[in-house]
C-alpha cells in the first residue's frame, strides 16, 4: 500500500485523565499534529484540561486543541485510547481486564464508523489484551491497531542503562519484549551501546557486572508499581512515549518501536495474539514485525509471556 502523510494531521485522544491529558500536552508541545482533540465522559475534566493546554498555543505550532464528542474522532488520523480504570497499588495490570473491556467497547460504540485508514493506539491496561479487543471491535486491518506495548518499559531500560554506563539513553539500543506486565523481559543478547554489544561492554568494565542485569530488569519491570506507590499514577513517561509513537506514524518514519503487535507466526509463539515485539512503524501503521534472534532463555521467556496472555484471553468476558 502506498504510504501517506496527512497534510493536516488530526490526533484524537480518548480519556482526559492523567495519561490522556499528559499525552495531549506532549503532542501539542511537540508540534506533531495540526489538531488535537481530547474526549472524556467527564465533560468538566475534559474541558479543564483543554483550557489549560490551550493557554500555551501561542508558543507552539499545533493549530488547535479542543474538547470534542466521541463522533469527532471518526476522521482522526490517529486515535489514542487512554480511557480506563488505572492500576491500583498492589493490583496487576491483568486484574483490570474485564473492567476495561467494558469501557473500550462503549468508546467504539460511541465513536461509530471510523475512517478506513485510521490508526488506533491502545494504551489502557492490560494493553496487550485490550489491543486485540480493539482490533476485533473495529475490524480495522491488524497493522492499523496496535498497543503501546513494551515501549515505555524499553524507554525505562534505555534510561537506566544509560545512567549506569554514563552514556546517553539515545545511544542504548535494546528491547523489553513480551507482555507489558509481569512476564516482560529484556533481550540482553540484543542490547547495544553505540555499535558495541552490551555483553562486550560489560566484560571490559568494572562498574556494571553481569549480575547487575537482573536488578536492572526488576527495576524496569517494577517501575510502574514504584511510581504508583509514590504518586498514585504514571503519566509523564507514557506521555512522552506516546508522542514519539504518534510522530513516527504522522511523519512516516519507518521507526522500529517495541509495541504490542499482532503475532502472525514470525516468532515461535501462539498465534492470534497481540504482544510486545519490535516493529517498523510508518504512516500505514505497523509495516512489519522485526525478527530478532533470541537465545534459548529469551525464547522460553517469550513463550511463557505469550502463554500468560493466551490464558487470560481464554478466561475473559468478551
Binding residue for ligand NAD, selected from 31, 106, 254, 295, defined by CB under 6 A: 106
Please name which of 4, 281, 312, 22 lies closest in space to residue 151, comparing C-alpha atoms.
Answer: 281
| 58: DSSP letter | G
> Could you tell me which stretch among 84-92, 185-193, 212-220, 265-273 binds ligand NAD (CB under 6 A)?
84-92
Binding residues for ligand NAD restricted to 168-187, rule: CB under 6 A: 180
Q: Whose Cβ is closer to ligand NAD: residue 12's or residue 14's?
A: 14
275 lies in the site for ligand NAD, by CB under 6 A: no
| Nearest in space to 77 (alpha carbons), one of 6, 161, 163 | 6
Q: How far is CA 96 from CA 91, 92, 310, 312, in A?
A: 8, 7, 16, 11
Q: Check binding of 19 to ligand NAD (CB under 6 A).
A: yes
Rounded Cα–Cα distance for residues 55 and 62 (Å): 12
* Nearer to ligand NAD among residue 93 and residue 202 (C-beta): 93
Q: Which stretch binds ligand NAD (CB under 6 A): 8-16, 185-193, 250-258, 300-308?
A: 8-16
Nearer to ligand NAD, 33 or 259 (CB): 259
R_g of the chain computed on alpha carbons: 19
Is 180 designated active site? yes
Burial of 186 (0-12, 13-18, 19+ CB in 10 A): buried
Binding site for ligand NAD (CB under 6 A): 14-20, 40-42, 45, 82-84, 86-87, 100, 103, 106-107, 123-125, 127, 148, 152, 180, 233-235, 238
Residues labelled catalytic: 180
Amino acid at each position: 500500500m502506498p504510504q501517506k502523510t496527512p497534510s493536516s494531521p488530526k490526533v484524537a485522544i480518548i480519556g482526559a485523565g492523567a495519561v490522556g491529558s499528559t499525552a495531549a500536552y506532549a503532542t501539542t508541545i511537540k508540534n506533531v499534529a495540526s489538531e488535537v482533540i481530547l474526549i472524556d465522559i467527564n465533560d468538566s475534566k475534559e474541558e479543564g484540561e483543554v483550557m489549560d493546554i490551550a493557554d500555551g498555543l501561542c508558543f507552539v505550532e499545533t493549530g488547535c486543541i479542543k474538547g470534542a464528542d466521541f463522533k469527532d474522532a471518526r476522521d482522526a488520523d490517529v486515535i489514542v485510547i487512554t480511557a480506563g480504570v488505572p492500576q491500583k497499588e498492589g493490583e496487576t495490570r491483568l486484574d483490570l481486564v474485564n473492567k476495561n473491556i467494558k469501557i473500550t467497547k462503549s468508546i467504539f460504540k460511541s465513536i461509530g464508523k471510523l475512517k478506513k485508514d485510521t490508526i488506533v493506539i491502545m494504551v489502557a491496561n492490560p494493553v496487550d489484551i485490550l489491543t486485540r479487543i480493539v482490533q476485533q471491535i473495529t475490524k480495522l486491518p491488524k497493522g492499523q491497531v496496535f498497543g503501546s506495548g513494551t515501549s515505555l518499559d524499553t524507554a525505562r531500560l534505555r534510561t537506566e542503562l544509560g545512567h549506569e554506563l554514563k552514556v546517553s539513553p539515545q545511544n542504548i539500543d535494546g528491547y523489553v519484549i513480551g507482555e507489558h506486565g509481569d512476564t516482560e523481559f529484556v533481550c540482553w543478547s540484543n542490547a547495544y551501546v553505540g555499535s558495541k554489544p552490551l555483553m562486550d561492554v560489560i566484560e571490559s568494565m568494572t562498574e556494571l557486572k553481569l549480575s547487575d542485569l537482573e536488578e536492572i530488569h526488576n527495576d524496569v519491570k517494577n517501575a510502574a508499581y514504584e511510581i504508583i506507590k509514590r504518586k498514585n499514577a504514571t503519566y509523564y513517561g507514557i506521555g512522552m512515549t506516546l508522542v514519539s509513537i504518534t510522530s513516527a506514524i504522522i511523519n512516516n518514519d519507518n521507526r522500529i518501536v517495541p509495541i504490542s503487535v499482532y503475532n502472525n507466526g514470525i516468532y515461535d509463539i501462539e498465534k492470534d495474539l497481540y504482544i510486545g515485539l519490535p516493529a517498523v512503524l510508518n504512516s500505514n501503521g505497523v509495516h512489519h514485525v522485526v525478527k530478532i534472534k533470541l537465545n534459548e532463555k529469551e525464547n522460553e521467556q517469550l513463550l511463557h509471556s505469550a502463554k500468560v496472555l493466551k490464558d487470560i484471553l481464554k478466561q475473559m468476558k468478551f
